[in-house]
Amino acid sequence: MSDEVEKLSRKRRRVLIFMAIAFVIWQLAGLQMFSDFAGGDRRVTGVVSLFAFAFWAAMLVILMRQRGVKSAPPEARAALDDELVQQNRMRAFRTGYWVMLVTAAIVFTASLFFTIEGNVAAQLVLVAGVAGPMLAFARLEGRDA
C-alpha cells in the first residue's frame, strides 16, 4: 500500500507544480506589460496565455479526479490526507502569505522606478499568492515523503 500512496503523492506533487507554472504563464502572458517585452505582438502572448490556460484546466481536472480516487483503498486515501499532509498545507498557506507580502514589496519598490498600474500590481500579487502555496506544498510533500 505504501507504494501506491507514494505513487499518488508523487503524481499530486507533479500536478501541483505543473498547475502553478501554467497558472503563472497564463496570468502573466495576458498582461500588457509582458506583451511589450515580447515585441508588442499580442497574438503571441495571447496564444501562449490560451495554451497555458488549457493546460492549467487539464491539470485541474486531473487533480480533482485524483482527489476522489475510487480505485485506491481507503487506507491509501486516508494516508494522502493525514496529519503531516494537513500540517504541510498550513505551512504552504503561511508561505503563500509571505510570498504575497514580498511580492507586494517588490511591486511597490518597482513602481517607484516604473509605471505599474494598480490592476497589474494586484494581479501580480494575487498570482504570487496562488502559485506560492502550490509550489511550497509540492516542495514540502517531496521533502517530508
CB burial of 13-39 (b: ≥16 within 10 Å; e: otherwise) equals bebbbbbbbbbbbbbbbbbeebbeeee
pLDDT score recorded for residue 135: 94
Residue 61: band (very low, low, confident or very high) from pLDDT cuts 50, 70, 90 = confident
pLDDT score recorded for residue 44: 77
Q: What is the mean pLDDT of residues 136-144?
A: 83
pTM for this predicted structure = 0.79
| Cα–Cα dist 101/96, whole Å | 9
Largest CA distance in the chain: 56
Stretch (H or E) spanning 112: none
What contacts 101, CB < 8 A, 6 or more positions away? Answer: none
Looking at 68-117, list the stretches that DSSP marks H as alpha helix, in order from N- to C-terminal side. Answer: 74-79, 83-111
| Cα–Cα dist 1/75, whole Å | 8
Residue 112: band (very low, low, confident or very high) from pLDDT cuts 50, 70, 90 = very high
pLDDT score recorded for residue 145: 53
Q: What is the mean pLDDT of residues 106-134?
A: 92
45 in Cβ contact with 38 (< 8 Å): yes
